[in-house]
Structure 1
């Protein structure tokens, strides 16, 4: 394909393969991008558009799954925790089917057209803004340390081998604030460069490298955003497609490349000014919304008994239970984290409970989420790093003594940074 932003004296002639491939890519990306950017229209108009589009895809995927793949069970949609569900793969197949059918009709009705240079310009603009929006959104979430979080107390006590691949990646990124900010800043810069024509090529090159790395991390650590990150990689590559020959000539063949003459999109100056205003609004919206989210994000205060408590003595009734590794009754530790509380038994199982602490009367009630009749009622006393619990579970009396383990006692937290290392410290 010829670069549509350059000045040419004659109208370029695309061959049949180029025109057919462009039609397919154009139809597919229209289906993929929509309703962007209309979902951001205020006054709930965007929400209604998104809801209607989601309902349409739910209906189409249901038809495809039953008639082609013979899937009779219900396929849930709109899963926020994963972008690689069965529904998402069926939706990908459905988009390709619709796009292929649209290409067939388009080719029959418009087979005499010489090229789609104007359409290519419009598609690249749409892809640039979608990709820029994604890069800025994800970039700011890293810069403001929102996407990844510090290792929790439960993360610190989980054996390394019991971490999921995704959990391992999240712990690594969450514990590396400087690296998270660096990667986020790179994404932000790439997104901003995409929004201005003189810097589009640099921005697209940066996006391609950054998103290729993200895609490989998602593949290597089983992060369920594989489909989405793959689409962003392909978007960056497609934006660079009109400049492929010049890039190869400059970077590979070490030959000079003539500068690209950028023609204004519109002959009237007012329309071009409106474009710059639109870019400014988009940048202000993205930056402002992320700043507002960071400022208004409420950090839940630490619970009164926040910490990891290792069991030193466990008395049930009149019996002092030994610390047997297969014992499913004796507690190994009590973990009270910012967001969760859990009782780890000697056999390694963790029972997550609702924490009701009364610091006035020094009472602690732990209630099972699965069975609200499964309750531990305690009074507690704290002296230095020792926690004593006295109470009941059903009809059994319990007396438990704990030794508090501070978060900073873990090597991952207290190791810190060293400019000079006489020996590698790799554990």
Structure 2
């Protein structure tokens, strides 16, 4: 059977034009990868960030007539800044494609450039698959349900919070998702398994993209770009895939040629590839193990970690009758890993920075949005009873609380069962 090349040598003008546009756009989108991960390469990242930080507001003001200050990229990848940045990159890519086409003396198919672009995008996609996959494998991206999650009414959850809690509940499903992404990323790194890797990655990213759309998770732009990259990597194989899966025809094998004519260059490429793969695997693994150990270190939890309900609440020596109009009286106190919340009688929450001195048994709670609002309390524990006594502003407080066993929540207690005589849907 004759081997066939997977890269078209007889592209028509439209195909050539599309390739040039795709090439220009995705180089702009992915740059400065992977330069920011080499020694001193972070400067490329800084310069690129500063460039877009300068150009995007100009486009926003002159094309979209947005004169307000744009929110810079943060935990959300779907800010107005991000959308205008993508639009700006597309404009630049169209301009570059136009200049490229007009300055070309004859029609070119760019077969070699096509190969190198796919190689670049393979590693770009593999990098993020391994990054996100390792984060899930070590259960860091979705760590565990917080105490705040357990007491938040179901209807008060945001769509993103609902999905996040869904993933946080099950370590096994999170790990399965991570393994799927890692498998796709590893397969993309080798030419013989590129087709399978792109198929796996496209399936994984399609699911991620749909979850982002369905649960309003602000990574829609990025996940859609990764999904499109997987499709582009599959583009040389569309005919063979169609023959195999749809037309029931033989799928001709694809020739895998060396990148360079000179043997030394191919050896150098192989060495670079090996170093790059080892660097990614070692870096991601060590970083995720470190994060996992920190997140799951029970000893690092605050001493008063738990959910507390109020038994009695006294101000200036007088016990206060709980009324919904009382802005001081507590309903619950939740001491979580990184912050503490006081829940008032109207179910409103105030979040505090927790400073616990276990030697002097002193609890200091400072309101995040108002550093002058401070509780200075002495605490005493006896079994599930917690007594607090101290001051808040000008008032003297004395509070008795009972700690709830959070492991008794149905969600945590139910566990896994192979046999279910009846559906346990609550």
Summarize deviations over 1:167-220 as a string: whole Å, max 9, x none.
111111111100111110111111010111110000000011000100000111
Count of residue correspondences: 419
Gaps of 5+ in 2: none
Shift of 1:373: 2.7
TM-score for both structures, normalised by structure 1: 0.94
CA distance in 2, matches of 1:276, 1:322: 75
Distance 1:152 1:340, change over 3 A: same
* Map of 1:47 onto structure 2: 42
Q: Which residue of 2 aligns with 1:28?
A: 25
Conserved? CA contact 2:138–2:289, under 8 Å: no
Structure 1 residue aligned with 2:171: 177
Q: Report whether the alignment pairs 1:251 with 2:248.
A: no
The verdict on how the C-alpha distance between 1:36 and 1:171 changes in structure 2, with shifts beyond 3 A counting, is same
Is this contact kept in 1: 2:6–2:237, CA < 8 A?
A: no
> Does 2:86 align with 1:58?
no
1:306-339, CA deviations, whole angstroms, 9 ceiling, x for partnerless residues? 1111112222234433344454321011111110
In the alignment, structure 1 residue 223 sits paired with structure 2 residue 200 = no
Which of residues 75, 82, 86 is equivalent to 2:76? 82
**What TM-score, normalized to structure 2?**
0.94
Aligned to 1:113: 107
Q: Decide which of 81, 88, 93 is 1:94's aligned counterpart.
A: 88
Q: Secondary structure at the match of 1:83?
A: coil
Segment of structure 1 superposing worse, 155-164 or 254-263:
254-263
Partner Cα separation in structure 1 for residue 234 and residue 367 of structure 2:
55
* Structure 1 gaps, min length 5: none
Q: Distance in 2 between matches of 1:132 and 1:199?
A: 12
Distance in structure 2 (CA, Å) of the matches to 1:265 and 1:371:
61
**1:12/1:294 Cα in 2 relative to 1: closer, same or farther (>3 Å)?**
closer
C-alpha contact 2:6 2:236 (8 A) present in aligned 1:
no
Classify the secondary structure of the residue corresponding to 2:209.
Answer: helix
1:382-407 deviation digits (Å, cap 9, x = unpaired): 11101111222233232211110122
1:85-131 per-residue CA deviation (whole Å, 9 max, x = no partner) reads 11111111101111111111111111512412111111111110100
Q: Mean alpha-carbon deviation: is it higher for 91-100 or for 265-274?
A: 265-274
Tell me the distance in 1 between the aligned counterparts of 2:128 and 2:279: 13
Measured on the aligned residues, the alpha-carbon RMSD in Å equals 1.8
**Corresponding position: 1:379 with 2:373:** no
How far does residue 414 in structure 1 lie from its aligned partner after superposition?
1.4
